[in-house]
């Protein structure tokens, strides 16, 4: 543990993607990933819903999402190596946004922007929606927006694939907690892992909702806050005759199928709903009472056949939120060698491939040549040039 060329703090999907891309892009130095919980029991990567979509409204996020979507289409072939066979369980069943009159104008603009940026997106009439998802109540819906290349994967399997791929590519993983980031003359010189010192001139903060804590070790304030996000899994009353895409209701409730892994498994869905006024903090307790008050009424209104659904499982993970709900990517201007890959606000797994490529480019070349990540620089908060995207969930 005496020295490393790059130390990545956080071994979730973002940290693993950065490590994998560095090695695959030809970086020959020692890459060390420090993960404080190798079981990943509290990791956002492990507790996510697994959505993968290109339907954003800003060019910056669309670019990140397009690279990542293509990467996930090749993920299993890319990450399978040696005796490990990746199975990310990617299901490209699309994202279907249901649009009511209040949101119609905004979605029309978004469709125009997405098509101009090369996103595969379809505007469905109410009849189109009914044909594809016949159980939906559509009396208040004016049209739908469908992304045929969008979908979802199994977060646990994506994490396992990224980590196995990074290790096979030559990245080293250490179980431990970074307790300090040492600096001299404006730049990083070492990290402390427990009581051990590891000399390095490059540290990547990929610590998810704990990013601000790691930032303080490096002497900087990062506007990243942990916010709880709850999910529920429900067993369907019978095997559904078709597979749901990721359906996003105007209320914000959204759900996807949770396919049976074996013939004896039941048919299920996973349901989420972001609470706008959720208090900040590292709260991983699932509040089951919210099902009846915030989930079930909207879900049963949209799908009357779901009226009697009850959760068979519920859990909470952490979003890493920034003031504009967009990521922070790049070298911190006040600390040379301290790179940020933080604040994805619920889209960390979704954009992990692009983040890994961008940070690899920044470390190796001093610029991101594949994906333009300049809009994600932390300086935007000081300059008042926040990144706006109205397609956040």
pLDDT in tens, 287-303: 999 999 999 999 999 99
pLDDT of residue 252: 95
All residues at 6 or more sequence positions from 275 whose CB lies less than 8 Å from its CB, including other chains = 228, 230, 290, 294
Predicted confidence (pLDDT) at residue 368 exceeds the cutoff of 90: yes
At residue 68's C-alpha, the angle toward residues 64 and 74, to 5°, is 160
Q: What pLDDT shows up at residue 286?
A: 96
Phi and psi at residue 94, to the nearest 5°: 90, 160
Q: How far apart (Å, rounded) are the C-alpha atoms in residues 11 and 34?
A: 6
Q: Give the C-alpha separation, 199 to 244, whole Å.
A: 50
- How far apart (Å, rounded) are the C-alpha atoms in residues 132 and 137? 13
The reported pLDDT for the residue numbered 264 is 86
CA 115 distance to own-chain centroid:
23
Q: Give the model's pLDDT for residue 393.
A: 83
Q: What is the mean pLDDT of residues 18-41?
A: 97
When pLDDT is averaged across residues 319-342 and rounded to a whole number, the result is 98
Mean pLDDT of 90-118: 97
CA dist., res. 211 & res. 234, Å (int):
33
> Locate tokens 């290349």: which residue?
149
List every span in the chain annotated with CATH 3.30.9.10: 95-149+226-319
Q: Whole-angstrom distance between the N-terminal and C-terminal Cα of the chain?
A: 41
pLDDT over 70 (residue 387): yes
What is the homologous superfamily of the domain 95-149+226-319 according to CATH? Answer: D-Amino Acid Oxidase, subunit A, domain 2 (3.30.9.10)
pLDDT surpasses 70 at 185:
yes
Read off the pLDDT of residues 228-272 as tens digits, 9 standing for 90 and up: 999 999 999 999 999 999 999 999 999 999 988 888 899 999 999
Task: State mean pLDDT over 100-124.
Answer: 97
- Which helix (H) or strand (E) segment holds residue 182: the answer is strand 178-184
pLDDT, average across residues 9-27 = 98
**pLDDT cut 90: percent of the chain above it:** 96
Cβ atoms of residues 99 and 250 within 8 Å: yes
What pLDDT shows up at residue 1? 61
Give, in degrees to the nearest 5, the angle at Cα 352 between 21 and 70. 80
Q: What top-level class would CATH report for the domain 6-84+155-224+323-383?
A: alpha beta
pLDDT digits (tens, 9 = 90+) for 1-10: 699 999 999 9
pLDDT at 128 over 90: yes
CA distance to 174, 185, 330, per residue, from 182 (Å):
19, 11, 19
Q: 226 in helix, strand or coil?
A: strand
Q: What is the chain's mean pLDDT, rounded?
A: 96
| Cα angle: 269, vertex 229, 55; to 5 degrees | 70
Estimate the share of the chain in helix, then strand, then coil, as percent rounded to the nearest 5: 30, 25, 40
Q: Is the pLDDT of residue 77 over 90?
A: yes
| CATH 3.50.50.60 placement within the chain | 6-84+155-224+323-383
Least confident of 70-74, 106-110, 143-147, 388-392: 388-392
């Amino acid at each position: 543990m005496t020295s490393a060329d790059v130390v990545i703090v956080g071994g979730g999907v973002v940290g693993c993607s950065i490590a994998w891309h560095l090695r695959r892009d030809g970086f020959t130095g020692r890459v060390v990933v420090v993960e404080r919980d190798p079981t990943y029991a509290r990791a956002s990567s492990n507790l996510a819903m697994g959505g993968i979509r290109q339907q954003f409204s800003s060019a910056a996020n669309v670019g990140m999402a397009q690279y990542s979507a293509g990467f996930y289409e090749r993920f299993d072939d890319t990450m399978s190596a040696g005796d490990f066979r990746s199975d990310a369980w990617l299901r490209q069943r699309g994202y279907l946004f249901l649009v009511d009159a209040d949101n119609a104008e905004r979605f029309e603009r978004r469709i125009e922007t997405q098509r101009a940026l090369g996103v595969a997106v379809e505007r469905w009439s109410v009849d189109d929606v009914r044909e594809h998802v016949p159980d939906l109540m559509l009396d208040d819906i004016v049209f739908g927006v469908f992304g045929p290349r969008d979908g979802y994967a199994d977060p646990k399997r994506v994490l396992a694939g990224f980590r196995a791929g990074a290790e096979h590519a030559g990245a080293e993983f250490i179980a431990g907690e970074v307790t300090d980031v040492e600096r001299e003359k404006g730049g990083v010189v070492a990290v402390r892992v427990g009581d051990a010192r590891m000399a390095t001139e490059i540290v990547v903060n990929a610590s998810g909702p704990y990013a601000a804590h790691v930032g303080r070790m490096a002497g900087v304030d990062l506007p990243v806050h942990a916010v709880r996000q709850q999910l529920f899994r429900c067993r369907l009353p019978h095997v559904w005759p078709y597979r749901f895409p990721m359906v996003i209701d105007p209320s914000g409730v959204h759900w996807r199928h949770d396919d049976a892994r074996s013939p004896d498994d039941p048919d299920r869905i996973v349901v989420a709903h972001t609470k706008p006024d959720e208090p900040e903090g590292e709260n991983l307790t699932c509040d089951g009472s919210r099902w009846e008050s915030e989930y079930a009424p909207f879900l049963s209104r949209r799908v009357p056949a779901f009226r009697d659904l009850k959760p068979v499982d519920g859990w909470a993970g952490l979003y890493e939120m920034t003031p504009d709900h967009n990521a922070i990517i790049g070298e911190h201007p006040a600390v040379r060698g301290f790179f940020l890959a933080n604040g994805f606000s619920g889209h960390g797994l979704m954009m992990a491939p692009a983040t890994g490529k961008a940070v690899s480019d920044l470390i190796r070349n001093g610029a991101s040549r594949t994906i333009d990540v300049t809009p994600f620089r932390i300086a935007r908060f000081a300059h008042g040039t926040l990144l706006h995207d109205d397609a956040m969930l």
